[in-house]
Structure 1
């Protein structure tokens, strides 16, 4: 008897799980660096080290979570769904803790930031990896899987848009002003609201989904052997592509506040900048599954990275001379992000299916855990690159910036993401699975 496929409401219910967790992640990606440097009082160099070094643990933690998820017993709630429900509340709590600013010594502040940020990343992994790993378990229909990925990525883009465009103004209102003391009060209040939303959406995802296509493939008990058997050239290529995609996705939000406040001198346009840079990706996220009926996921990825290259070069050449031109470029970047998040995730799902089919081992959890790791590496590299560049060019928080610092801010918003997009094109070209 043929299994009943998912309906539209169930697909949307699944996608809301991404909206909840990525809303919190988006606020952290957009404003945590600014919070560390301008509110908590951590140097840009120290903040960059926190972002970068905590990912060393993620290199171990993410694949481990994928292997644990794949090896988990099938309960009456499924193999992956319980993780989504159980991780939601702790994730929300630690997101709030990340935006607290206790009165500590300089060393104590760095230690507090590093510990809370690392634990938040670990809990996010326990939520994110099973959420993506359950896609093949929800349906055996490839078109439905593409819709699940497309809807989830659309909600991710919506979450990044809301967190970047709405968060700053909301924090100012909750804190009563724009001074560091006001932001210190406003950020935790806003994160409590975000946390409540995240938990509610996780519950909706848990209730509205059901794992009906659980594949009982071989599971290697030795974790290192398992990773060795799963690793192949297509998987490495798609993961490197996702690192480049995540770098380009988070960089506009991370450097955007610095770019608007210090380089263009237009803090009043921060909300518009974030709305254009992060919001337009919703359009292409929705369109991407339909586009992949006409072109391959690989071809669509080439288009997305190409758009980022052109936009980055034009932003650098325009400088401060034409705000309308640079905002058009930011819109192009936003559209490209929506395409890439769906197309590369689809490439990953195809790779996982290829591994399972050819090697006879369950690979969904491991592959999507590596995807989670790739995204966080890209985000960490983006935040670290901005932090180190600010430190190297003499950035001083809440002060008039030197020309060298302004040039560093411009480069981080133009030629650096364009260069990473070029690397993305190379990585996508290395993915040969679609041609086979």
Structure 2
């Protein structure tokens, strides 16, 4: 039994936050591009640019949000205040993303979605960045962090299944697409609020201390220092970014696969069940394997499983039938490890940085992590929009018959491209060096100081 055992109530409250983070990370990536091209009639390239611009903002804003949350944690003794503000604002702005009036012309619709998405993404970061910094403070134990993050990933996986499968199903309840998307937005916003607000009390409290005031320039210098002088963190962040891009590409492509290759818009629900249901079962297995080998090895193996699933999707998509769900399920087994293991490795990197510098920069690191995750997801949608534009995709209100080249582009973007990106991500991961022995050596001085 570890000395730093996390109470079950804390595990439950913290992991419930994944209902909010998983929902927002999943549903816009799945349906927002499709909503703009096939309901609002926005050209694929313009729709992709809207998503890309918002995520560029994330890269700029998230490290600053992280640094400010570090400062607020020092002054108030907790990160709860930022999480609360983000958890309240996110659901409201999420609804606005899908509340576009039906009679707006495409250019006005682009502006509406872009502004609402920018606000929602900012609110998400205000919650997500301090939320990602919590595990390093909740426990110092190597295995307890894995236990905490595995519970979070199980909830995250359920959230992805609920939002990714249930969101499109809600949309299809009514015949009017605009009303369907609005209904989907309202119901999902309620779930986002529950997830975020339940997680707020999981943020631990400590005695406040004097925080050094930092300029915006100093925050970016600190962000650079975090990556430049943290080789293991860098070796973790880069693969996670690339894998978020691959996942974002599959998420964005799923609805197009359902509509234009499987010829059933509602098949997206079954694609999601095939991807996520195996992941729910597999997450504890990846935790078990990482405890007996290492987190890096298990992360590498899960990535390879995902790659194999992506490659096997190619013949399944060329002759689409029920067999398409089998390689998707195999990719889902790998996806579970690709989510849980890097998240379990991140608190170890935060603790290592704290030992190296003597200061807590978990918020800054969480800001970098969130920026890379959300940007990767968005770039997946942007890459898909470029593929659609290059192959001659026809945007319309209500859908249109697509050229054969578009169908090939959708199939490749859903299978081969994600597998290749994940394969490339394995190269930088070799530089990750935070083994159990290194992490235990980092923790010992902190425990002596607390004693």
Q: Same fold (TM over 0.5)?
A: yes
Residues 23-78 of structure 1 show CA distances to partners (whole Å, capped at 9, x for unaligned) of 243221211111111112211100111111222211110111111111114466x4
Q: How many Å apart are 1:126 and its aligned residue?
A: 0.2
State the distance in 2 between where 1:24 and 1:377 align: 13
| Structure 1 match to 2:449 | none
1:270 is aligned to: 268
Whether contact under 8 Å (1:66, 1:369) holds in the other structure is yes
Q: How do 1:164-175 residues align onto structure 2 when only pairs under 5 Å count?
A: 164-173=164-173
Give the one of 295, 319, 336 matched to 1:338. 336
Secondary structure of the residue that 1:211 maps to in structure 2? coil
Which residue number in structure 1 is paired with residue 95 of structure 2? 96
- 1:280 maps to 278
- CA distance 1:126–1:251, shift in 2 (3 Å): same
Contact 1:247 1:382 (8 Å CA) reproduced = yes
Q: Which runs of 4+ in 1 moved over 6 A?
A: 213-218
Say whether 1:430 aligns with 2:431. Answer: yes
Task: Return 348-357 or 283-292, whichever deviates more.
Answer: 283-292
SS of 1:30's equivalent? helix
Which of these residues, 172, 183, 201, is aligned with residue 189 of structure 1? 183
Correspondence for 1:52 = 52
Give 2:350's match in structure 1, choosing from 341, 349, 352. Answer: 352
- Report how far residue 210 of structure 1 moved: 4.8
Matches within 5 A, 1:22-421: 22-74=22-74, 78-102=77-101, 103-173=103-173, 176-177=174-175, 182-207=176-201, 209-212=202-205, 221=214, 222-231=218-227, 232-321=230-319, 323-397=321-395, 398-421=399-422
Taking a change above 3 Å as real, the CA distance of residues 20 and 318 of structure 1, as seen in their structure-2 partners, is closer
Structure 1, unmatched stretches of 5+, are none
SS of the counterpart of 1:395?
coil
For structure 2, the residue ranges without an aligned partner over 5 or more in a row are 439-451
Q: Is the 8 A contact 1:313 1:414 kept in 2?
A: yes
| TM-score of the two chains, using structure 1 as the length reference | 0.91
Structure 1 residues 213 and 334: alpha-carbon distance in aligned structure 2, compared to 1, 3 A threshold: farther
**1:6 and 2:6 aligned:** yes
Cα deviation, residue 159, structure 1: 0.9
> Within 2, Cα distance between the matches of 1:109 and 1:261?
23
Deviation at 1:142, TM superposition (A): 3.1
Is the alpha carbon distance of 1:235 and 1:217 closer, same or farther for their aligned partners in structure 2, counting shifts above 3 Å? Answer: farther
CA deviation string 1:394-433 (max 9, x = no partner): 1124122111111100110111001101111112123234
State the distance in 2 between where 1:278 and 1:83 align.
30
Quote the RMSD (CA, aligned, Å): 2.4
**Would you say the 8 A contact 2:244–2:377 is kept in 1?**
yes
Given the superposition, is the C-alpha separation of residues 362 and 386 from structure 1 closer, same or farther in structure 2, using an over 3 Å criterion? same
State the distance in 1 between where 2:207 and 2:416 align.
45
Paired with 1:283 and 1:249, the residues of 2 have a C-alpha distance of 19
Distance in 2, matches of 1:269 and 1:228, equals: 44
CA offsets, 1:11-33, max 9 Å, x none?
Answer: 01111111123224322121111
State how far apart, in whole Å, the 2-side matches of 1:141 and 1:219 are.
Answer: 28
SS in 1 for 2:401: coil
> 2:232–2:432: 8 Å Cα contact kept in structure 1?
yes
Given the superposition, is the C-alpha separation of residues 150 and 214 from structure 1 closer, same or farther in structure 2, using an over 3 Å criterion? farther
TM-score, normalised with respect to structure 2: 0.88
**Whole-angstrom distance in 1 between the partners of 2:126 and 2:257:** 34
Superposition deviation, residue 219 in structure 1: 5.7
Does the 8 Å CA contact 1:135/1:145 hold for their aligned counterparts?
Answer: yes
Change (3 A) 1:219 1:237: farther
How many aligned positions are there? 427
Structure-1 separation of matches of 2:141 and 2:432 = 23
Task: Quickly say closer, same or farther: Cα 1:81–1:145, change in 2 above 3 A.
Answer: farther
Cα deviation 1:214-257 (Å, max 9, x = unaligned): 89798683313322332232222211111122123333321111
